[in-house]
Amino acid sequence: NAGVTQTPKFQVLKTGQSMTLQCAQDMNHNSMYWYRQDPGMGLRLIYYSASEGTTDKGEVPNGYNVSRLNKREFSLRLESAAPSQTSVYFCASSLHLSNQPQHFGDGTRLSIL
Amino acid sequence: GQQLNQSPQSMFIQEGEDVSMNCTSSSIFNTWLWYKQEPGEGPVLLIALYKAGELTSNGRLTAQFGITRKDSFLNISASIPSDVGIYFCAGPPPPNTDKLIFGTGTRLQVFP
């Protein structure tokens, strides 16, 4: 049982380049999330999707876009990468919103030079 | 925005010792979640708490939902080297229960 799978695991970009981070879950969960993790700041929510066809902004959405491609997949796009977006990105999923525990992937480590 | 404050920020203990950490909020929470993150991996759910006063165990781990609903505690008994990692508390900030906010974590190091 794979759970939440993120690709790629590592990526280095130059400032201004674009990139899409992929996430897929096989737990038949309705809700999916994208977080970034920076040293000393814990996890901060970028965007989330309550169900297929819906997306909403989280705490730090600027510079990102998302697509809920289907129930399984939720992608995060950086249109014009900036050094401030250097971080570890985590995708998570839960059965529904509202108090449901979230299950995380292993992260994508992104460096922007 | 709302924050969850975790303490201590880091702990360096010897194998076999017990560990206590806590998480506090300025607002009342209806759910508390505890996660552990090991190097190079994503957070893994340890314990979920849904009722004030609730005490739940998972092996050597025990977590409690504070009576005031503004705090939660995690204890690890008889620590072992594989307990090393960062422990995060999380919860849905009222009134919006659609999202989770996370504490900044307690980093645990266990020495043999």
Nearest to B22 by CA among B112, B111, B105, B109: B105
Whether the pLDDT of residue A107 is over 70: the answer is yes
Whether the pLDDT of residue A81 is over 90: the answer is yes
Q: Region B5-24: what's the mean pLDDT?
A: 96
Q: What is the pLDDT of residue B54?
A: 95
CB contacts, 8 Å: A56 with chain B: 98
- Cβ burial of A14 (10 Å; 0-12, 13-18, 19+) is exposed
Residue to substitute from B30, B44, B98, interface A, most A β-carbons within 10 A = B98
B78: left (phi over 0), alpha (psi -120 to 50) or beta: left
DSSP strands (E only) in A52-96: 56-57, 64-68, 74-78, 87-94
CB contacts, 8 Å: A99 with chain B: 30-31, 50, 92, 97
d(CA A22, CA A40): 25
Whether the pLDDT of residue A102 is over 80: the answer is yes
Whether the pLDDT of residue A1 is over 70: the answer is no
Of A40, A99, A103, the CB nearest to B30: A99
- What does each C-alpha distance from B88 to A12, A71, B23, B67, B103 come to in angstroms? 28, 28, 9, 20, 6
Contact B48, B31 (CB under 8 A): yes
Q: Region B70-92: what's the mean pLDDT?
A: 96
CB contacts, 8 Å: A101 with chain B: 33, 45, 48
